[in-house]
Structure 1
Amino acid sequence: MMDKQAKHKIKSQKLKEKVDSHVAQAQTERGVVLIITGNGKGKSTAGFGTVARCVGHGYQAAVVQFIKGTWDCGERTLLEQHDVPFAVMGTGFTWETQDRESDIAAAEKVWREAKLFLADPQYHLVLLDELTYMLGYDYLNKEEVIEVINNRPKNQSVVITGRGAIKALKDIADTVSEIKDIKHAFKAGIKARKGVDW
């Protein structure tokens, strides 16, 4: 009878062969579009983690923040110390401004800055934080956004975060991850915590 160690070794070897096969098949070298969407917490956190990873490897990254621009942002404070440029919408949450025209103008202004990042091959990665809302609310022209992302430099990757990613975005993405809301401290009356939630 085979012992646990022998069974584990056989199982691990099969897994290794499967993983090695997938690695060997992945031969295309180019930038990718990653979308992190869903109703759960952690989409922007994941996006900023990818920026930190990029910078940690010595590449240049740029960040565009839609929606949350009025908040004190720990990620921005840290990453600006590492020469990561930010374009910030600066109007805060749309339910606070309650002014569609000014929100559209602010979105279009920061989108003009985003287009410069998305055309510049020096940026290995561009984070478009909360972009999904701008398309869902029709603040930006969907066709133009898709075209600009599709026509970015070949080796540039883009991370897009926010709830409700539209189908047109998902269609151009290489990777789409959805974060599910199972439980959230805020719903239990616990305040958002500096250094954890923002």
Structure 2
Amino acid sequence: MNIEQPPVDRQRIVPDGERRGLVLVHTGDGKGKSTAAFGLAIRAHGRGKAVKVYQFMKVPSARFGEHRLFEQIGIPIEGLGDGFSWKSKDLEHSAQLARDGWAKAEATIRAGEHFLVVLDEIMYPLRYGWVPLEPVLQALRERPAHVHVVLTGRNAPEELVALADTVTEMTLVKHHFKAGVPAQRGIED
């Protein structure tokens, strides 16, 4: 490790643009996409802002760690799917759930009643063709000016990356699964 001197004379850049709702994309093969989005949800909720979280691949009855916490602190979270595709017994049913889920999420975004809307794991239904990309892009372009939207999942479409204000790509450097360590409650859920 190289030791660095802390910066002391760095020039501060002050943005001069207008505050507005942002589109943020968390993508890539690394861990932390949903976790980062949930952190933003907690941050906004902590400031008294209205937040809604939609999970496109989780079942409505899911009780993972984020569901338990969000229930305790009052952040609405809704599972829209029937689990990941490799667990689905009926892919057409999974696709219909995704389309129905997008209709709910789109209505929430367009209504403008929430400061932040999280679309967790939406990249799966986009990549599978279950939810067409163009209506998602259109809703993001036409959303009320104060609404922030976070979209998560691997392999974000180029068109979404181009439209977004902030894109973070999580890069896998090392993963415990490859060393034979299984998923652990409180870390992966």
Q: TM-score, normalised by structure 1?
A: 0.87
Deviation at 1:120, TM superposition (A): 2.4
Question: Which residue in the other structure is 2:104 paired with?
Answer: 113
- Given candidates 124, 129, 132, the residue that maps to 1:138 is 129
Counterpart of 1:5? none
The alpha carbon displacement at 1:98 in A equals: 4.9
2:160 matches 1:164: no
Take 1:72 and 1:190, find their aligned partners in 2: how far apart are those partners? 23
CA shift for structure 1 position 117: 1.4
Name the counterpart of 2:8.
12
**Cα distance between partner residues in 2 of 1:181 and 1:94:** 22
Distance 1:26 1:136 in 2: 37
- Aligned residue runs from structure 1 range 1-198, under 5 A: 11-13=7-9, 15=10, 17=11, 20=12, 22-23=13-14, 25-69=15-59, 71-198=62-189
Distance across 2 between alignment mates of 1:139 and 1:186: 29
Amino acid of the residue matched to residue 175 of structure 2? H
Distance in 1 between the 2:86 and 2:34 partners? 19
Higher share in helix:
1
Query: Structure 2 length normalisation: TM-score?
Result: 0.91
**Uncovered stretches (5+) of structure 1, i.e. residues with no partner:** 1-7
Most deviating of 113-122 and 164-173: 113-122
Secondary structure of the structure 1 residue equivalent to 2:150 = strand
Question: Structure 2: which amino acid aligns with 1:181?
Answer: L
1:110-134 Cα offsets, whole Å, 9 max, x none, are: 1111112101222110000001111
1:173 and 1:39 map into 2 onto residues whose CA distance is: 19
Higher mean C-alpha displacement, 79-88 vs 106-115: 79-88
Classify 1:59/1:126 alpha carbon distance in 2 versus 1 (closer, same or farther; 3 Å): same
Give distance in 1, aligned partners of 2:32 and 2:129: 24
- Cα RMSD of the aligned pairs, angstroms, is 1.6
Alpha-carbon offset, residue 188 of structure 1: 1.6
Greater Rg over alpha carbons, structure: 1
Structure 1: distance between partners of 2:63 and 2:72: 15
Contact between 2:109 and 2:143, CA under 8 Å: does it hold in 1?
Answer: yes
CA–CA distance in structure 1, aligned partners of residues 156 and 49 of structure 2: 27
- Which aligned segments of 4 or more residues in structure 1 are displaced greater than 4 angstroms? none
Instruction: Work out whether residues 71 and 92 of structure 1, in 8 Å CA contact, stay in contact via their aligned partners in 2.
Output: no
Give the % identical residues.
38
